[in-house]
Amino acid sequence: MTITDNRISKDHQRSIEEIRKDFPILAREVHGKALVYLDSTASSQKPLAVIEAMDTYYRTYNANIHRGVYAISEEATAAVDKARLKTARFIKARQSKQIIFTRNTTESINLVAYSWGNANIHTGDLIILTEMEHHSNLVPWQLLAERTGARLEFVPVTDDGLLRQDIYAQLLQQGPKLVAFTHMSNVLGTINPAQEMIAQAHAAGAIVLLDAAQSVPHFPVDVQALDVDFLCFSSHKMLGPTGIGVLYGKRDLLEAMPPFMGGGDMIRKVGLRHSTWNDLPWKFEAGTPAIAEAIGLGVAVDYLNELGMEAIMEHEREMTIYAMQQLKTIPEVTIYGPDVSQRGGVISFTLGDIHPHDLASILDQEVGVAIRAGHHCAQPLMERYGLAATARASFYVYTIKEEIDILVQGLRKAQEIFRF
């Protein structure tokens, strides 16, 4: 395993410069300046290998899957099956049939909330969530509670961005049916102690759903070691295309769950008044799937495996350490969340009284830096810190220190504009 200031690789050294050449968009200019993309937490950029694989599908074997006995249909079916197997191996699932393709993390969570939730959650049942959840891991459970009469309780967040594990232990004593929480916060960068929290929840008799949208792309995730019941993530945050996400589930749970949507391909036999359901994973994949997107996801997994997830994690940690050091040199910058030992490659911050939207606009116009500004689909967390919004910079395999220097330059320019 090798990682230095400018190299990242599992088995051999590849310079960051070489890696960046794999991403065509990084050669683009905005407002006459080189694009500095620091919003990978929202959506990552795509390597040429992913773009070309999807293009090749559309150019040479574009056909529906599971429904044709002709050559290109069989090729497309094999490609999607291969992508599913790659995805299963990437997160160390026992079987590829435990990988359900959805549109995104949000749909994966909703699938569980409707299919498992409607069948298993009843009046008075407790669902434990946390204050740091993305809206996609809040709203589906709110809707489930409204449908069933279940109650929601929340693990608080400390001032430094960590979950109150003492309160979590107290809530578990109330016998919850479900615990759902994020593996890594999209706002604070906090990496939660998922394995320990899952074990505690199981000891209390609860099923656990882990929102892994921010973890699977950035560090090794082993669903068997975690012993998690459901795990959800999105392709577009891990170098793959938009429009496809993943739900992993333990097989016994998935087998027992009713379908989420009805239609073609999710059925075994259909009559006018009654139907029976297909095997896993197709029971949960009604209609024509995102074929090109699945193929793109499979190639993204190949790319990440080539670099090595441990090396990616170390590279992001190095970028995060450097960014936090540089940001702290700027007067009036406030950084939210834990120290680097407990955070991933995400930094949310404010700069004096400058509204984050104004800050993001200045960075875009003046120095070509793309960051996210707003509540980051986590309004309750913003309220916890008494904020309307923050600015957020996030890093990935293609981030270099020079881009962080440009971010800092842009922040100083913003101070000049607002006459700090």
Catalytically active residues, by annotation: 377
- Which H helix or E strand runs over 250? none
Nearest to 399 by CA among 127, 1, 12, 23: 23
Cβ 141 vs Cβ 180: under 8 Å: yes
Place of tokens 């921010």: 214
Cβ 220 vs Cβ 310: under 8 Å: yes
State the Cα–Cα distance between residues 88 and 106, nearest whole angstrom: 19
Which residue type sits at 176? P
Pairing of strands 29-30, 8-9: unpaired
- Which H helix or E strand runs over 252? helix 251-256
Burial status of residue 343 (CB atoms within 10 A of its CB: 0-12, 13-18, 19 or more): buried
State the Cα–Cα distance between residues 189 and 335, nearest whole angstrom: 11
Nearest to 344 by CA among 324, 371, 374, 328: 324
Handedness of CA 58, 59, 63, 65 (dihedral sign): negative
